[in-house]
Amino acid sequence: VQLQASGGGLVQTGGSLRLSCAASGRTFSSYAMGWFRQAPGKEREFVAGISRSSTYTTYLDSVKGRFTISRDNAKNTVYLQMNSLKSEDTAVYYCAAGGSPYNNFVITTRGGMDYWGKGTLVTVSS
């Protein structure tokens, strides 16, 4: 699976962005999907995850109520809608895929992901 993230950019505090991650291949629906981010000088952290069939979603506490992850298996795409952005959301955002078609759960760890896309930079200015 190859993943391509897009949608990053510069936005003011309180603004919104929607990230997209397009996947190649016909097995997109077999994988749990997730968004991670890495700020300068910090480790990459989990932000949001969604199970294969969208049954389950999980979020980092600091983004709950502001970010929404969704997926469209027909379009092989996962999204991250980010509202009420804060300066601390500034980071490079990565999409990732993992798991198997035999499970339907959310993956929240970097080690649980098998495929990573190149990141897209989100900069929130005050």
pLDDT in tens, 29-49: 999 999 999 999 999 999 999
pLDDT tens, position by position, 90-122: 999 999 999 988 889 999 999 999 999 999 999
Residue 46 or residue 25, greater confidence: 46
- Other C-beta atoms closer than 10 Å to the C-beta of 112 total 16
Among 120, 104, 99, CA closest to 35? 120
Residue 115 and residue 93: Cα distance in Å, rounded? Answer: 14
